[in-house]
Amino acid sequence: MAWDFETDPEFQKKLDWMEEFVREKVEPLGLLGIHPYDVKNLRRNELVRPLQQEVKDRGLWACHLGPELGGQGYGQVKLGLMNEILGGASFAPIVFGCQAPDTGNAEIIAHYGTPEQKTRYLAPLLANEIVSAFSMTEPQGGSDPTSFITTATRDDEGWTINGEKWFSTNGKWAEFLIVMAVTDPDAPRHERMSMFIVPVDTPGVEIVRNVGVYGQEQGSESYIRYTDVRVPADHLLGERGGAFAISQTRLGGGRVHHAMRTVGNCRRLLDAMSRRAVSRKTRTGTIGDYQAVQMQIADSYIELEQFKLFVLKTAWMIDKHQDYRKVRKDIAAIKALMPKVYRDIAQRCIHIHGSLGVSNEMPFVGSLIGAMVMGIADGPTEVHKVTVARQHLRQYRDVADPIFPDYSLIERRARAQDMYDPVEELVEAAE
């Protein structure tokens, strides 16, 4: 019997340290107008590097990675508890060396990269000396990879890439881009594309503009045009035609980590609305005395606890199977659940704060946008729900009979009576 919902005391001490460290030292960095990913900004580095060193000294650096890559090998459950603390403080993932999209990019170079690629790109990425971007989505198609038209063509010396990519997060800060391009248009659907490592200063890479998510003053979702971009043959990442399989490895972990951080965001929102509920005075007491407000607090608590347990259970399954593919259904399920829980809690938090809630003095409307983003980035909710349903229905694929004979109460009662005829048993007992 191995169900246990407790954190071991030694690890809890680390989490307690993290809570205070993030609140006292890391959160304020997000208010200075510096971008966490701007690794060439001297002021940013002056502030961030000593904090990263403190994290390393505590043995908490890059906890998503195994020891062979300089991480701690804590596994996903512990990472889930840590990410809950990191969610909501914009600099926290950078300070702890586990920021998206670098985590996913590092993961695939570690899995599929050549020794040279690891030395040149992975090592500085893991040290946060550089940052990277993942360049997959195109202006004319995101959810459906078969609509991608960026091509890479091979000649004797290497590859030439042509096309446009959209929403390549952090393209403007990145040292290199991981680009997905069609290399084999006539191959089966999942083998048409390959991945390439493209240094951002390669001639022909043009950042058309940096789009912002609504409300951001400076955007970092890069719209990138690739015109006759030449990369040597050894810049292919993994096998030719392997992009689809590689991106599934990458996105599986990324989705879980987003969900973990979203638990943290929701916890902060619940905390804020609870404080407001008990402190906002009315003529008879506080607004928390109204049942209508209590319902909103209760719904938020219930939904958050459900979501958190589901995320941790999924993390536990990843630790158990060590294979994202075996946990596909639950990863898709938490991805689909995340925007709804986040949006509902953010919306209630705003509402309970009244005018202050919608004002630009509070971060809550940003959370609402964040919730919308979680329903789109890494694939829209609908696509993930389809995955959940398909995976779930697999266990029923051998069911050939129509439902009626199995479930009809009349039929079942008749079968039950054949098995145990209570009347006859009673008669026999009486005799």
Ligand X SMILES: Cc1cc2nc3c(=O)[nH]c(=O)nc-3n(C[C@H](O)[C@H](O)[C@H](O)COP(=O)(O)OP(=O)(O)OC[C@H]3O[C@@H](n4cnc5c(N)ncnc54)[C@H](O)[C@@H]3O)c2cc1C
Residues that bind ligand X (CB under 6 A): 101, 134-137, 141-143, 167-169, 213, 221, 373, 376-380, 382-383
Task: State which residue, 21 or 134, has the beta carbon closest to ligand X.
Answer: 134
For the bound state, the minimum distance from the C-beta of residue 147 to ligand X, rounded and expressed in Å, comes to: 8
First to last CA, the chain: 46
Q: DSSP alpha helices (H): ranges in 280-380? A: 291-321, 328-352, 354-358, 364-374
- Pick 138 or 330: Cβ nearer ligand X: 138
- Closest distance of CB 184 from ligand X, Å: 20
CB of 377 to ligand X, least distance (A): 4
Per-residue b or e along 217-250, where b marks 16 or more CB atoms closer than 10 Å to that residue's CB: eebbbbbbebeebebeeebbbbebbbbbbbbebb
Minimum Å gap between C-beta 129 and ligand X is 20
Amino acid symbol at 319:
D
CA angle centred on 373, ends 106 and 192, rounded to 5°: 55
The residue at minimum Cβ distance from ligand X is 142
Q: Which residues of 254-288 are buried (b: 16+ CB within 10 A; e: fewer)?
A: bbbbbbbbbbbbbbbbbebbbebbeebeeeeeebb
Cβ distance to ligand X smaller for residue 69 or 376: 376
CB of 388 to ligand X, least distance (A): 13
* Cα 227 from Cα 401, distance rounded (Å): 57
Question: Do residues 368 and 347 lie in contact, with contact meaning Cβ atoms separated by under 8 Å?
Answer: yes
Cβ-based nearer residue to ligand X, 104 or 264: 104
* CB closer to ligand X out of 303 and 378: 378
Nearer to ligand X, 78 or 335 (CB): 335
CB of residue 342 vs ligand X: minimum separation in angstroms?
A: 14
Decide the pairing of beta strands 176-182 and 132-135: parallel
